[in-house]
Structure 1
Amino acid sequence: MVNENNEQATVENEEVSTEETEETTEKVEEVEVSAEQQKISELEAKLEESENRLLRLQADFDNYRRRVRLDQEAAQKYRAQNLVTDILPALDNFERALKVESEDEKIKTFLQGMEMVHRQLVEALKSEGLESIEAVGQSFDPHLHQAVMQVEEGEEESNTVLEEFQKGYKLKDRVIRPSMVKVKQ
């Protein structure tokens, strides 16, 4: 009987031991699954962060390429700006010299030659996109005109340009030099 009791106790111990082992195995599996889920979540978060960083880098690069393209287009469009700016004082002097009146035939011939050179110079500048700003009789525009005098004389409307002291010029759509004008107050 003692043997039977021992056997029964051993069987019961084995059953309890098997149950405990199964419970422990289940707990270990749950812990492993939980650890794997956590690892998966961490990897998914890293992947999402990497994808976001890649998208931001792509957007930054696209913006950079667009800015460079716009800068190159502007540089090409206004490539003559420095040259035009340097030539404008000479063009002004040409125009002042052409206003000289004389009765002498030699001077008249000389002035005709200067007028031809002036016309060629103006045509060359026009081909690059230079155009003069119309001022006299126009409404005053601070983007195009620089008022150096204001007077109350004349019958024109208020804010009308009466006289132009220095011609203004635009290169394509950019004002290179505003017209210096006298304005009706």
Structure 2
Amino acid sequence: MSNEKNVAEQEEAVDTPQNEQSDADVEVVNADDVIIEDASDAGDESEQKIAELQAKLDETENKMLRAQADFDNFKRRSRLDQEAAQKYRAQSLVSEIIPALDNFERALQIEADNDQTKSLLQGMNMVYNQLVQALKNEGVEAINSVGEQFDPHLHQAVMQIEDENYESNSVVEELQKGYKLKDRVIRPAMVKVNQ
């Protein structure tokens, strides 16, 4: 029996270190599991940070593209404004010269009864023609009215008459000349319109 008892004690002695060792292995494995879990938590956090940074980057790129588009639009508008200013640079001068042309035209309609008046009218006509030519060189032209269809963009109707010789809604008489600078109306023509 003592043999059996010794064998049993040896088996217990052998079993105990193995059991302790396997418990230690289990603890290490459990520690690894904890480390792996901590690493996966850290991975989730880093993925969140990456997603946040990517969102901020996308937002910044979007803002940059909008700012670039706004700047391009500003440059285009500025260029168009400069072109319009260059194209219509003479508008204020033309607006002030047109009444002088009207007065020249009225003066030239006077009947000359002697040579002195005729030479004065001839000199006025030469000055008038020079003014008209200078305005034409800048792009100013008179608006055609008589016989044309009434256009509210070009004509200002001050009277309406009924005349069978003209079509309906056509200009019968021009009371004051109208002028355009290139494609912009400086002064509409004052006209009589047929009903």
Per the shorter chain, which TM-score range?
Answer: over 0.9
**Distance across 2 between alignment mates of 1:150 and 1:164:** 12
C-alpha displacement of 1:5: 5.4
- Corresponding residue of 1:60: 70
C-alpha displacement of 1:3: 5.3
Q: Percent identity?
A: 57
Listed as ranges, the gaps of 5+ residues in structure 1 are: none
- Corresponding residue of 2:18: 8
1:46 to 47, 56, 81: 56
Listed as ranges, the gaps of 5+ residues in structure 2 are: 1-8
2:103 to 77, 93, 106: 93
Task: Map 1:8-27 onto structure 2 (within 5 A).
Answer: 8-27=18-37
What secondary structure sits across from 2:84 in the alignment? helix
**Cα deviations by residue, 1:116-143 (Å, 9 ceiling, x for unpaired):** 0000000000000000000011111111
- Corresponding residue of 2:186: 176
**Distance across 2 between alignment mates of 1:142 and 1:96:** 26
Which structure is larger by alpha-carbon Rg, 1 or 2?
Answer: 2
What secondary structure sits across from 1:90 in the alignment? helix
Stretch deviating more after TM superposition (76-85 or 27-36) = 27-36
Task: Map 1:65-144 onto structure 2 (within 5 A).
Answer: 65-144=75-154
**Distance across 2 between alignment mates of 1:3 and 1:179:** 125
| RMSD over aligned Cα atoms | 1.3
C-alpha displacement of 1:43: 1.0
Q: Report the TM-score, using the length of structure 1 for normalisation.
A: 0.96
**Distance across 2 between alignment mates of 1:153 and 1:120:** 37
**Cα deviations by residue, 1:40-98 (Å, 9 ceiling, x for unpaired):** 11111111111111111111000000000000000000000000001111110010000
What secondary structure sits across from 1:137 in the alignment? coil
What secondary structure sits across from 2:166 in the alignment? coil
What secondary structure sits across from 2:173 in the alignment? strand
**Distance across 1 between alignment mates of 2:31 and 2:163:** 111
Aligned length: 185
- Corresponding residue of 2:6: none
Runs of 4+ in structure 1 over 4 Å off:
1-6
- Corresponding residue of 2:177: 167
Residue type of the alignment partner of 1:94: F
**Distance across 1 between alignment mates of 2:133 and 2:164:** 35
> Are 1:155 and 2:165 an aligned pair?
yes
What secondary structure sits across from 1:180 in the alignment? strand
C-alpha displacement of 1:36: 1.1
